[in-house]
Amino acid sequence: MNPSGLEALIEALRCLPGIGPKSAQRLAYHLMQHDRAGAARLGDAIQHALQAIRHCQRCNTFTELDICERCASPRRDPSLLCVVETPVDMNMMEQTQAYQGLYYVLMGRISPMDGIGPRDLALERLLARASDGLVREVILATNYTNEGEATAHYIMAMLKARDINVTRIARGVPVGGELEYVDAGTLAQALRERKLLGSS
Amino acid sequence: MNPSGLEALIEALRCLPGIGPKSAQRLAYHLMQHDRAGAARLGDAIQHALQAIRHCQRCNTFTELDICERCASPRRDPSLLCVVETPVDMNMMEQTQAYQGLYYVLMGRISPMDGIGPRDLALERLLARASDGLVREVILATNYTNEGEATAHYIMAMLKARDINVTRIARGVPVGGELEYVDAGTLAQALRERKLLGSS
Ligand SMILES: [Zn+2]
Ligand SMILES: [Zn+2]
């Protein structure tokens, strides 16, 4: 019913989460009818990003370098390693201006409901990163959701055997809340009140 | 805060209607993290569609040809021209199997609220199409929404001066309803009960 190139576009748009067949058709019509310049930019941006964007070998965030600028900076404290779920969460931590250490970005969380287990997060990379001999404290800054808590507990158990203090940012983050939606002051408070884990 | 290639992708995704900055970032992260194959297909599909998809010179629908297959078919009745708002509406009409004439697809509707006037629909192309000497009846099958009604009235006035009968599909389509969501039987009925306009 649509020409094949348009059908292919509609089908391809369905790789976007939350876009069903009707929405995909509407988006495709919109692009072809009203915003060919935008579509061209989008096509170029996708192809450039696929070529340019990779994960930092140290902190796992998105970067166009082997080692991202933050990990390469001599001004950061290499004895502190803050574990967050996403690059957005890392940016939230930075905005508190209360942290000068380094990061590890999980790029997800343990979530049995979504079929995401510890193996999917490649936590052995975090273990290796935390075992570089410089890290003295791993600060777990995963969300205070069920999944974030489960992730923190799993990582805590994994690191407990090593000579590394594992702390958790304080529950200043509202229970069930996500870092992305918390103001910087609350988050700075939570960071200050972080507590030692695994020392019972 | 994001590497530039990722920022460019986030910005480019905002050409999709209904996608704000937060959604765009989430979509970009998803593509880069979880579906690079889908992203590659999407990038290719956009670029192919931009190159391949154009508007039929006769009916204005999307096509990869100069004149679409339907317009080029010798089995369609060239004395009937059905005006619809979108390619989806044209497909709805086809599914009634009650119509053997040709189409003109407006690719929109008059909508002052959205700043879309008659000029934006390039109605002079419809006028030229309807004045080919073969068309005897123009059937207005725009939606029975306020915008669709305004569009039908405008076209009726435009065509009234010519020696062309202008009809409107019957109001079997529920008032306020859109063709896309009407069953084929109702639409076939509305087509059969179309009434002559502009003969008062
Ligand atoms: Zn890094
Ligand atoms: Zn055509």
Distance from the CA of B171 to the center of ligand 1, in angstroms?
A: 63
Closest CA to A76 of A55, A95, A56, A94: A94
**H or E segment and range at residue B79:** strand B77-84
Nearest chain A Cα distance for residue B168, angstroms: 24
**Which chain A residues touch B89 with a CB distance below 8 Å?**
none
Q: For residue A86, how far is its CA from the centre of ligand 1 (angstroms)?
A: 13
Question: Which residues of chain B make contact with A12, given a CB cutoff of 8 A?
Answer: 38, 41-42, 44-46
In a domain, B184, yes or no: no
Nearest CA in chain A to B91: A1
DSSP state of A163: S
* B136 found inside a domain: yes
The pLDDT assigned to B87 comes to 92
pLDDT of res. A163 = 77
d(C-alpha A22, C-alpha B60), whole Å: 21
Q: How many CB atoms lie within 10 A of CB A132?
A: 11
Question: Dihedrals φ, ψ of A18, to 5°?
Answer: 85, 0
- Over residues A65-120, the pLDDT tens digits come to 999 999 999 999 999 999 999 998 898 888 888 899 999 999 999 998 989 998 88
- For A193, which DSSP code? T
| CB-based contact A16 B36, cutoff 8 Å | no
Contact A134, A79 (CB under 8 A): yes
What are the residues facing A168 on neighbouring strands? A140, A195
SS3 B20: coil
> In angstroms, how far is CA A189 from the centroid of its own chain?
21
Query: Which one-letter amino acid corresponds to residue B196?
Result: L
Whose structure tokens read 């937060």?
A: B22
* Dist. CA B91–CA B99, nearest whole Å: 11
- Asked whether residue B91 is domain-assigned, the answer is yes
SS3 annotation, A162-188: CCCEEEECCCCCCCCCCHHHCCHHHHH
Under DSSP, is residue B126 helix (H, G, I), strand (E, B) or coil?
Answer: helix
Q: Which of A177, A175, A199, A179 is nearest to A83 (CA)?
A: A179
Q: What is the pLDDT of residue A73?
A: 96
The pLDDT, as a whole number, for residue B200 is: 47
**Contact by Cβ (8 Å): A1, B91:** yes
Tell me how far apart the alpha carbons of residues A126 and A135 are, in angstroms, rounded to a whole number.
12
Which ranges of chain B have pLDDT less than 70? 172-173, 175, 195-200
Identify all chain A residues contacting B35, using CB atoms and an 8 Å cutoff: 15
Residues 6+ apart with CB under 8 A from A18: none
pLDDT of residue B163: 76
In a domain, B88, yes or no: yes
> In DSSP terms, which residues pair with A55 in a beta bridge?
A62
Looking at chain A, the whole-number percentage of residues with pLDDT higher than 90 is 67
- Residue B32 falls inside a structural domain: no
* For residue A185, pLDDT beyond 50: yes
Confidence check: pLDDT of A31 > 80: yes
The residue with greater pLDDT, A163 or A139, is A139
Query: A199 falls in which pLDDT band (50, 70, 90)?
Result: low
Which residue from A minimizes the CA distance to B44?
A43
- In a domain, residue B43? The reply is no
Check which CATH number belongs to the domain holding B124 and give it: 3.40.1360.10
**Alpha carbon distances (Å) from B76 to A20, A116, B63, B83, B100:** 33, 55, 18, 15, 5
DSSP E strands in A14-158: the ranges are: 54-55, 62-63, 77-84, 101-105, 137-140
Structural domain contains residue B162: yes
Structural domain that includes position A142: 75-168
Distant-in-sequence, close-in-space partners of B40: CB < 8 Å, separation ≥ 6: A46, A47, A50
Count of the separate structural domains present in chain A: 1
Helix (H) or strand (E) holding B34: helix B21-34
> Is residue A22 classed exposed, middle or buried when 0-12, 13-18 and 19+ CB atoms within 10 A define those classes?
exposed
Residue in A83, A101, A92 with CA at minimum distance from that of residue A156: A83
- The whole-model pTM stands at 0.77
Using a CB-CB cut-off of 8 Å, the residues of chain B touching A25 are 88
- Within-domain flag for A53: no
For residues B179 and B148, is the Cβ–Cβ distance under 8 A?
no
Angle between helices A87-95 and B21-34 (to 10 degrees): 130
- Alpha-carbon B81 to chain mean position: 15
Q: Where are the beta strands (DSSP E) in chain B?
A: 54-55, 62-63, 77-84, 101-105, 137-140, 165-168, 195-197
CB atoms under 10 Å from CB of B52, counted, come to 17
